[in-house]
């Protein structure tokens, strides 16, 4: 057999020896469950026209780098952060928190508009930053989950109106530090803040 005829076969053998060129999926074990947030206040069904004055949009909150992940941060000291073992969010917490806010606002009588699919500007625009969303064990005697949301309401229909700012904070005890227990405590804290935001948004 002539050598040129062997070239393609040799190329395949050499590539095979280098291992797979494309790896589909990962080698890590998938989590047994994923963590989620949900609003405790059921949003009202849309059943007719809403007053323009009652419209609001809710942006996805900005987050610091420590929250740009599916993991749950654990503050261990004033200068150290780790992540909770075996805890994985189904979706980044700021996106889930946005939905908790939107559902709670809707449950409180506001018409939440998705600006991505509507050409009508809302009367109010809720934006903000989710600064803290995780477990704090820096005081071993008092472990807590903490949530901090710096909110801003602007008025797109009235560009000259004053922008309103407010910080919202909530904490829940977290002596049980399993992923499910921590997520449940974070959900309670998130809903506390959402209820406060809903009341503030109507003023």
In a domain, 178, yes or no: yes
In a domain, 90, yes or no: yes
Number of domains in the chain: 1
In a domain, 189, yes or no: yes
Provide the residue-wise pLDDT of the chain in tens; the chain has 203 residues: 444 554 444 444 343 444 443 333 345 566 789 999 999 998 777 666 778 888 999 999 999 999 999 999 999 999 999 999 999 999 999 999 999 999 999 999 999 998 777 677 899 999 999 999 999 999 999 999 999 999 999 998 887 888 999 999 999 999 999 999 999 999 999 999 999 999 999 87
pLDDT computed for residue 44 by the predictor: 74
Structure tokens at 63: 């987050």
pLDDT computed for residue 158 by the predictor: 85
CA nearest neighbour of 62 among 189, 144, 152, 134 = 152
In a domain, 84, yes or no: yes
What range defines the domain where residue 92 resides?
62-108+129-149+165-201
Q: How many CB atoms lie within 10 A of CB 167?
A: 11
CA nearest neighbour of 101 among 182, 183, 200 = 200
Cα 12 to Cα 177: distance, rounded to the nearest angstrom = 51
- Is residue 190 within 8 A of residue 72, CB to CB? The reply is no
Those residues with Cβ within 8 angstroms of residue 95's Cβ, 6 or more apart along the chain or in another chain: 60
Q: Is 152 exposed, middle or buried (0-12, 13-18, 19+ CB in 10 A)?
A: middle
pLDDT computed for residue 28 by the predictor: 58
pLDDT computed for residue 31 by the predictor: 74
In a domain, 191, yes or no: yes
In a domain, 76, yes or no: yes
DSSP SS3 for 7: helix
Q: How many CB atoms lie within 10 A of CB 149?
A: 24
CATH of the domain at 91: 3.40.50.10610
49: left (phi over 0), alpha (psi -120 to 50) or beta: beta
In a domain, 25, yes or no: no
Cα 194 to Cα 122: distance, rounded to the nearest angstrom = 19
In a domain, 11, yes or no: no
């Amino acid at each position: 057999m002539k050598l040129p005829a062997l070239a393609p076969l040799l190329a395949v053998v050499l590539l095979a020896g280098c291992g797979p060129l494309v790896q589909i999926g990962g080698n890590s074990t998938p989590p047994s469950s994923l963590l989620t947030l949900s609003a405790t206040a059921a949003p009202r069904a849309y059943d007719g026209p809403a007053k323009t004055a009652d419209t609001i949009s809710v942006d996805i909150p900005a987050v610091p780098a420590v929250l740009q992940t599916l993991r749950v941060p654990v503050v261990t000291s004033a200068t150290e952060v780790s992540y909770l073992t075996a805890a994985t969010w189904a979706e980044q917490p700021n996106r889930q928190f946005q939905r908790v806010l939107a559902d709670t606002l809707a449950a409180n009588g506001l018409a939440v508009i998705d600006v991505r699919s509507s050409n009508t500007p809302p009367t109010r625009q809720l934006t903000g930053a989710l600064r803290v969303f995780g477990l704090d064990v820096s005081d071993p005697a008092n472990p807590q989950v903490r949530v901090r949301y710096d909110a801003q309401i602007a008025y797109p229909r009235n560009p000259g109106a004053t922008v309103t700012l407010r910080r919202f904070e909530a904490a829940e005890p977290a002596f049980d530090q399993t992923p499910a227990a921590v997520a449940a405590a974070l959900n309670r804290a998130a809903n506390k803040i959402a209820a406060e935001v809903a009341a503030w948004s109507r003023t």
